[in-house]
Amino acid sequence: MLKRPRRNRISKQIRDLVHEVSIDKTDLVYPMFITEGETEEIQSMPGIYRYSLDDLPKALKDVTEAGITAVLYFGIPKHKDEVGSCAYDDNGIVQRGIRLTKELYPELVVIADICLCEYTSHGHCGVVENGYVQNDKTLELLARASVSCARAGADIVAPSDMMDGRVGAIRNALDENGLEDVLIMSYSVKYSSSFYGPFREAAGSAPAFGDRKTYQMDFRNKKEAILETELDIEEGADIIMVKPAMAYLDIAKAVSDRFCNPLAVYHVSGEYSMIKAAALNGWIDEKSIVIESLTAMKRAGAKMLITYYAPDAARWLEEN
């Protein structure tokens, strides 16, 4: 036989020479929860914590020593109200966390998730009137939250709400406040997914009524992902995202093939918890499963890998 593909797989050294896709520690983004309460482990996400401001420095030390260069912050306030006012309070929990992070680790890239769901008493991602989430009335609040987080020192703001027009509203607000160098990483393609269950426990953001299907995307749709991404780029998004990751690699590939903006994928809480549960039961090799999963995301076209496994993955990459 003249053609023997196995020759290119005959040893690790040869495989490493000819491989097509690699993961680097600089691809990894670590999502972190900052709370006004006490530090505690999240029951449905073993190994993941809500950190108090007192304990955040130690956590960040561990993260940076692992080689992680970017974090994504979610806030868990004590006070919640109908309009999520703590999301755009300059002394809010995320804003304080950002300032503390930049004091301790100024080179660490800080991404602020921009949404109201963790801050509203009803758990929805926007202003609710007559049982319906009002799109346009939510935009101003998202813009205010973005400006507040950017002033606190966030390098990137990441709107995750899926309101129409929010990227443009945020871009205009940032520019008007002299914050034109702050990036927008838009959750451009965020599906209404059952994979978010553990996150809603972590952030205390389960909706008090109904669901989010009127604003998050229908998982049956693919072409809609192209439309949503195109609109966000036109409005000023610097980085685009597909969420969730593993069950939506076809979407990530389609978006990556179509657009030049850097693509992030979010390896979400349910994906993390399923792997973690199987690993704790001894059913799978956790390290190899995680590295294989993250590599699949890169193979689909992602540049940024947002994953709760970031510190572990960074250490495992060092071992390979």
Place of tokens 């309009």: 83
Catalytic residue status for 243 = yes
Tokens read off for 198: 């553990």
One-letter identity of residue 191: Y
- 153 to 229, 243, 275: CA distances (angstroms): 26, 25, 34
Q: Are 124 and 211 in contact (CB under 8 A)?
A: no
3-class secondary-structure state, position 14 = helix
Q: Are 120 and 81 in contact (CB under 8 A)?
A: yes
Choice among 78, 213, 223, 243 that is catalytic: 243
Write out the E strands in 206-286. 239-243, 263-267
Choice among 80, 190, 276, 298 that is catalytic: 190
Q: Residue 137's CB: how many other CB atoms inside 10 A?
A: 14
Maximum distance among all alpha carbons in the chain? 71
Task: Give the Cα separation of 98 and 100 in Å (integer).
Answer: 5
Task: Give the Cα separation of 81 and 224 in Å (integer).
Answer: 32
Task: Give the Cα separation of 104 and 126 in Å (integer).
Answer: 33
Q: Are 68 and 310 in contact (CB under 8 A)?
A: yes
**φ, ψ for residue 210 (rounded to 5)?**
65, -150
Write out the E strands in the chain. 28-35, 40-41, 49-51, 70-76, 109-114, 127-129, 132-134, 156-159, 183-190, 239-243, 263-267, 304-307
Q: Are 276 and 221 in contact (CB under 8 A)?
A: no
**Catalytic positions, written as ranges:** 190, 243
